[in-house]
Structures are given as C-alpha cells and as structure tokens.
Amino acid sequence: MIIPCKVSMNDNFSIDNENFEINLSDKKSFTYTFWKKIRKMDQFYNLAALDLLYISLFVFAADRLVLRELASDGWSRKIELYIPVLNLERWNTNRELLQKMIGFLSGDSWLIHFRQRELDDEEVHYRDKMIASKALNKDYDRVCMFSGGLDSFVGVIDILQSSDANTLFVSHYGGGKGTKEYQDILKARFIELYNLEERDFCQFYASVKNGIEDTTRTRSFMFFSHAIALASAMGKPVEMIVPENGLISLNIPITHSRLGTSSTRTTHPYYMQMLQELLGQLGLGISIRNPYQYLTKGEMLLQCKNQELLKAELHNTMSCSHPDQGRMRGATKSCHCGYCLPCVIRKAAIKRAGITDNSDYFDVLFTSGLTAKTNLNSYKLGLERFDAKYSFLSIQKSGPITYDIDKFTQLYIRGMQELTQYLEERG
C-alpha cells in the first residue's frame, strides 16, 4: 500500500500509484484531540517529539485502514508511507531504526519516506498561546502512562504513595467508550484522595472514521508518543513511567493456537530498547522505565502501596482486550469478557493476591460459547506442555532479549505458575 500522509488541508503533495491518502486535518476521516486544549507547559513541544507524534498518528491510521487479510500471507502487510516532518535530516538518519521498531510492534513491513514541512497556522497559534500562558505553568518532573487498566492503576497508586514529585498522567482512548469510563472513575478518586488537579491528567482521543482492521497493534506507539510530546515540553530531562507487569510484556504465546501475533508487544524489552534508542537519537532527554518489568501481575498487586484503595477500586479497572463487546451483546456497560488472555492473567493475579474480585465478567467459567471453550482448552494445553527447563528459550519467542536473561526466565516461570494455580480450578 502506497499512502501519502498530510498534516494540513493545504498540503498538495501526491505520489504516483498511491492507494489512498491520510490527512489528519480531514475531520471526515480522522479525529484526534491533541490540539484541543492549550496546555500550560514550560515550553513548546520539541519539534522532533512533535514529528514523532504525527508519525505515530499516521502509522495508527494506516494500521486501521489496511486489512491484514489482503496481505499475501493473510497477516504481514507491506505499507509505504510518505510523511512530512519538521526536521528532515534527523528523521532520514533514523529512518531504519523507526521502520524496524514499528515493524517489530505491528508484524508488518514498513517503508517510510520523509519530506520537509514547516509549522502550520494551528501549531503556530498553539505555540504562541503556550508562551503567553507560561506564568501559569505547573512544574512537572515526569510523565506516567495511565490506561485505566489494573497495572496502570497500581503504578499510579505507587507513585502517589511514595513520591512528592509532580507527575503528569497521560491517557488515551479510542473509538469505544469502555476505556474512558474506567479512566474517569479512577481519575476522580485520585484527585479526591491525593489532592491532585484536573490538569494533572491528560486524556487524548484518536479515531480513524473508516478504520476496518481491528488488530491495531500500533495503538500503543501512538499512546506513548502523546506522552513523549508532553514530556518534551517540560524543559528538562524527565522520566516516562510505563507500568506493566513483566509477564504480559514478554508477550509469549501460551500455545501455537494462541493468537500471539494479535497481542501487544507494547512493553516488550526489545521494543522498549529500540524506542529508548530512538529518543536518544532524536535528542530527547526522556528515559523510559517500567518499575514492574520483573514482577508478575499477582506480585504487583501484593506489593501495591495502598492495599485499601486497590481493593476498593479494583473493579473499576479494565484489563480486557475488547471491553466494548459487552455492549454488542446487549449489556448496558462495558465489561471484561473473562476468557481472553489479559482477562485470565488478571483473574489469576487477583487470586494470587487473595483479593475478592467484584469485577464484571461476561463469562467467568468459559461457558459462553466456542471461543471461550477453545481458549480454555488452549491455555490448559499450553500449561501441560510448559517445561521450566526450557524457559530461557521460551522468553525469546516474541523477540530477542539480550540482558537479564535469568531474571526474565524466573519471571516467566512464576507467571506460568500463577496461571496454572488459577486454571487448575477450572476443571
């Protein structure tokens, strides 16, 4: 697929043999809210970080618009993008790294061509407003990803319990309402309990109007890029916290029938290494850290620094990979399906932590239909075949890991034990 990309409606660029174009200013085809508010930051966004944000939006749009079933193997697509950037030389230097990183994340072959652009009128207006409001800024020390999931809930709790540093919490939600509902509930609780302000939370929305491909493995790249842009405006080196349990970040398929290729590599160590390298090459003083890289989800819950809040609000977190499907079945609100791998890891972790689970699940016992039963049998088969002796090889299945091999191996073993203890009760 050959796709020219545009930031502005005034961009007349075209290319021979193009399949279609992506224009972020065309409200009929794409909606995003990054420029909706004038955010009071220390300075305007670093231009390389702004480029990265737009690149992530273009990649996400292409990911939604190009069907995998049309690829020669039914999965890995060949996507060619022509992207305008503010710093052409720097992006041409880092093109191969970017293509490799996105390719690892999505499982596709990406070819990206860059061309020069300048700030458009909207960006200049935004920049001038930011400069004019500088006296009203709040001095932030770091950003933290806040998805509304259980892991990010624990991550925010631990930050607020253990540090006086000002943290900007960054969220993203897509076309469905499920994710935002949970983010809003938890945000209100954090503001109430920890004397925070509304401006300490940034929620962004992005949607491709005619998006037809549902796998969207690049959504997380876009999520991260929003936080990176905000961090670049803080005027100093900052830390970006990504709270995610280590087992899910390894992204190891339990069996060959498990749709491992459909699951996220968002925080896989190899992907995080490449993203950190790219930020360094772009001159962005942002360091990425996952405090839970070597913990299972159950261990995260056990070590959470506010157990009372965790237990009280656990049911207001969302871990499911498709939370809005409950609405499609006639439910009045979003809920966990109960049988996808993130749901199973969630339930296993809550059992490990000894917490009463009052979360809403569409299917608790894997009895709702063929998909649920197939998933359960797949998980059980995978656990039967699991051999701890070969865990040091298994952790390499989703991507190369070149450091802390023993730590990742032991993490994987403990994570599989957590799953086993839960699934053994399912008969």
Q: Mind listing the pLDDT tens digit for each residue in 54-74?
A: 999 999 999 999 999 999 999
In the numeric block, which tokens belong to residue 81? 């993008």
For the cut 90, the answer to whether the pLDDT of residue 330 exceeds it is: no
Give the alpha-carbon dihedral of 419, 395, 293, 339, to 10 degrees.
-30
Around Cβ 259, how many Cβ atoms within 10 Å? 13
Query: 293 - beta bridge partners?
Result: none
Looking at the chain, the whole-number percentage of residues with pLDDT higher than 70 is 94
Tell me what pLDDT residue 303 has.
99
Question: What is the spatial distance between Cα 412 and Cα 247, in angstroms, rounded to a whole number?
Answer: 6
Tell me what pLDDT residue 326 has.
58
Q: Which H or E run includes 113?
A: strand 109-116
Question: What is the spatial distance between Cα 401 and Cα 395, in angstroms, rounded to a whole number?
Answer: 8
- How high does pLDDT run on average in the chain? 92
pLDDT tens digit sequence for 371-400: 999 999 999 999 999 999 999 999 999 999
> How are strands ordered across the β-sheet holding 22-23?
22-23, 2-6, 78-85, 109-116
pTM comes to 0.95
Question: Which has more pLDDT, 53 or 253?
Answer: 53
Question: Which has more pLDDT, 343 or 133?
Answer: 343
3-class SS string, 15-64: CCCCCCCEECCCCCCEEECCCCCCCCCCCCCCHHHHHHHHHHHHHHHHHH
Question: What is the spatial distance between Cα 351 and Cα 314, in angstroms, rounded to a whole number?
Answer: 13
pLDDT tens digit sequence for 155-186: 999 999 998 889 999 999 875 556 899 999 99
Nearby residues of 100 by Cβ (< 8 Å), 6 or more positions away: 274
> In this structure, which amino acid lies at residue 126?
Y
For the cut 90, the answer to whether the pLDDT of residue 216 exceeds it is: no
pLDDT tens digit sequence for 223-267: 999 999 999 999 999 999 999 999 999 998 876 554 443 467 899
Burial 276-291 (b: 16+ CB within 10 A, else e): eebbeebebebebebb
- What DSSP designation does 401 have? -
Q: Are 105 and 262 in contact (CB under 8 A)?
A: no
Q: Enumerate helices (H) and strands (E) in the chain, giving the number of each.
A: 16, 10
Burial class (CB in 10 A: 0-12, 13-18, 19+), 37: exposed
Closest CA to 359 of 342, 373, 376: 342
Tell me what pLDDT residue 332 has.
66
- What DSSP designation does 217 have? T
Tell me what pLDDT residue 1 has.
95
Tell me what pLDDT residue 425 has.
83
Give the alpha-carbon dihedral of 64, 68, 72, 74, to 10 degrees.
170
Tell me what pLDDT residue 328 has.
59
Q: Are 32 and 220 in contact (CB under 8 A)?
A: no
